Each structure stands twice: as C-alpha cells, then as structure tokens.
Amino acid sequence: MLTPLVISRTALSFLIAGVWISFATLAGEKFGSRLGGLITNLPSNIVVSLLFIALTKGVSFAAETASSVPLGMAISITFVVMFAALLPFGILFAIGGALTVWFVLGYVGSNLPLGPMEALYVYIGVSIVGFLVLEFLLGIRSVPRQKIHYNLKNQLLRAVFAGGVVAGAVLIAQVSPPRITGIAASFPAVMLSTLTILHLSQGAEFARATAKILVLSSSNIIVYVYATAYLYPRVGLGLGTLLSFLAAVGWSALFLPISKKLK
C-alpha cells in the first residue's frame, strides 16, 4: 500500500541514490579502467535499495531479499558481458541486446526454485565464465585514464536513471516476494549508466575495459548483501549498513594488486 511514509521514503531513496551514484561514477572515471572500475562497482544502489526496503517492509524481508541478490548479480554479469561483446556494433545495439538478455534472464530467474547457496554457486560460475570470456575470448585489454570532458547533462541523466531504479525497487518490494525484489534491486543501473557514458566520453575500448573490471569486482556486492543479511537483525540498520559497506570496500581493496596485473 502506498502510504505517505512509503512515498516519502521512495522519493528520498531516489534522491540519495541518484546523487551517490552520479558522484561515485564520476570519481571512478578519473583513474583509468582498472581502478575506476573498482570504485564504480562499490555498493551504491543496492545500499539504498536494501536500506529502504528494510524501512518499508522490515528487516526480515530485507534479509531474505539480500539472499536472492547473488542470482540477480549473475544476471547483471551476463548483461555486462553482452554489452561488451555487442559494443563494437554500436552503442544502441549493445544497450538493446544486453537489456533484452537481462529481462529474459530476470524473468527466468524469478521463477527458478533456487536456494541461497544454489544462487551463490550460480553467481560464482557465471562470474568466472564471464571474466574468462572478456579476458581471453574477446581479448579486452585495460586502458589508462584519458582526458575527461565533464558534462552536467550526462551527470543529471545518470543520477535520474540510477535513482529511478532504486526507487522502483522500493516500490516493487511493496507488492512482490523477496526473490523478485532481490533481482530488481540488482538491476545493473550503475553498470549501464557508467558504461554508456564512458563510451560516449572516452570511447568503446575504455568502456569495454571497464566492463571487464566490473565483472571481476562484482563480488563486493555479494559481500555487502550477505553482511547486511547478518548484521541488520543484530546491530540495526544504521550500523549494519556502515559495517557492511566497509566490508565491501575492504574486499574490493583485495582486487587492487590483481587489477594491476591484468593486461
């Protein structure tokens, strides 16, 4: 039911997520495809989604939703791989093809009777295969940072798009079971907006190189959601969110030496 409380919190989630994701991805663009991809892929829309889902539907619902996020992330990784594979044929073709794959797999995934551990195994398998495809089959190489042309319009569009996805996940939670909410909450808003803008501002090769790092570092989202599922019922939403985010940042830091070794 869309009560005034639900509407106000949905609107606030739109604002917070839009601002956060806009500035986080802008900062990521400054450091090249390796480090930029790690920064961009830190938990952002999932942070606000789970927090406001917990506020509107309760901690238990949010924890159950978190357990279904790995399946959603597996689908998002497939989205990234398809985007990178199709980008040489044009940005619109890449967006359309990758989104089509995401929606089809999202529909299929929402009807699969997978438990939390089974979903985690699917994520691990898809992430490994996805990275190997980008690294060896497509032969995508890392790209150093390039001159950035800042555009306020692009930043606003990115903020509106990402904020809208988070707000939509909060609204979906009012009428959907946790499994579907978890997949919706892991919609690749940051990935889509970042890769599209990187293509427009720095070229297809930079965007494809960033896609490879996004797949590699996507596990920090899994660390975050499992941490929230454990911490929310025990320490509360505020401290649970902070500690979960710090855990994800620490996990991402482990990929710094790995990313430097990538070609």
Alpha helices in the chain (DSSP H): 4-28, 32-40, 45-57, 59-67, 69-86, 91-110, 116-132, 152-172, 178-185, 189-202, 204-217, 219-235, 237-253, 256-261
pLDDT given for residue 174 in this prediction? 66
pTM: 0.81
Mean pLDDT, residues 47-65: 81
pLDDT given for residue 114 in this prediction? 81
Per the model's pLDDT, the better-predicted residue between 118 and 10 turns out to be 118
pLDDT given for residue 78 in this prediction? 96
Q: How many domains does the chain have?
A: 1
Range of the domain at 194: 4-261
Distance, CA of 155 to CA of 223 (rounded, Å): 28
Question: Where does the pLDDT of residue 203 fall: very low under 50, low under 70, confident under 90, or very high at 90 and above?
Answer: confident
Q: Residue 92 burial by CB count (10 A; 0-12/13-18/19+): exposed, middle or buried?
A: exposed
**How do residues 123-171 score in pLDDT, each as one tens digit?**
999 999 999 999 899 988 877 666 666 667 777 877 887 778 777 767 7
Mean pLDDT, residues 233-244: 92
